[in-house]
Amino acid sequence: PQPRHPQPYPSYNQTPHPGPAYNTPLPPAYFTQAPAPAPAPAPARRSAGATVALVAVAIAVAIGAGGSVYAFMNNEGRGTHTNPGPSASGDDNVNGNGSGPDDESAVPADYLGTWTGSIPGDQGGSSRKLVIRQGGVGDQVLSLTAEGPLALGATYHCEFTAPLAARPGEGEPVRIGPSTVSVGRPAASCSPGKPTELTLLPDGTLRRAAPGSGESLIYTRSD
């Protein structure tokens, strides 16, 4: 009989079949595919009322930004200023009876009376009426009425008053303090003015100028 060969022992050095990689977890399902982006929401439609309100605001801004009036400048009321003025103040009382800090009559007689001027502009001409009254330092000796057109067919009416700043010397201009608004329609179109100087010119006209600015306006006596 043939001798039986013993079965070989298993090779313990053989490489076993790889098992599951426990240290490498499968990626979660939400990493396997990016979600589809959500559709963009449809733009909200403005109601008719909201559109009307926006148009009204735009008109108000155009009038306020384009119609601010300064009572002493060459381009006053021309719609070139951007800063809207404060509401009209009713506290200013034009007073020519010399009841201020200096109750003497300090305004030279040649300056007294009513003076008128005009300013051309893109929207049409604007008118100015200047009234100078007698009074002392601190009295409201000057009043100004300014009227003219604004954009979109609107108009403005502004009234200002200003005090005598100092008693003028012989041959000196009449110094006027800052003006304040007494009436403003619309209020946003009427702004207080800077100090000014009044000077009688050889031809009998009156120049009102803002010192150091190069801005002035010529008035003609109307009374």
pLDDT in tens, 58-82: 333 333 333 344 444 433 433 333 3
The number of beta carbons lying within 10 Å of the beta carbon of residue 94 is 17
174 vs 69: which has the higher pLDDT: 174
Mean pLDDT of the chain, nearest integer: 71
Contacts of 6 (CB under 8 A, 6+ apart): none
192 vs 70: which has the higher pLDDT: 192
pLDDT band with cut points at 50, 70 and 90 for residue 122:
confident
**Domain annotation covers residue 180:** yes
Asked if the model's pLDDT at residue 85 lies above 80, the reply is no
**Domain annotation covers residue 7:** no
Instruction: Give the phi and the psi of residue 171 in degrees, each rounded to 5.
Output: 80, 0
**Domain annotation covers residue 42:** no
* Cα–Cα distance for residue pair 98/66, rounded to 1 Å: 38
pLDDT in tens, 130-164: 999 999 999 999 999 999 999 889 999 999 999 99
Count: domains in the chain: 1
**Domain annotation covers residue 116:** yes
**Domain annotation covers residue 99:** yes
**Domain annotation covers residue 65:** yes
- Give percent of the chain above pLDDT 90: 48
pLDDT in tens, 213-222: 889 999 999 9
**Domain annotation covers residue 29:** no
Q: What residue numbers bound the domain in which 113 lies?
A: 50-221
Instruction: Give 171-175's long-range contacts (Cβ < 8 A, gap of 24+).
Output: 173/197, 173/198, 173/199, 174/107, 174/108, 174/111, 174/132, 174/198, 174/199
**Domain annotation covers residue 150:** yes
* Cα–Cα distance for residue pair 60/141, rounded to 1 Å: 34
The number of beta carbons lying within 10 Å of the beta carbon of residue 50 is 11
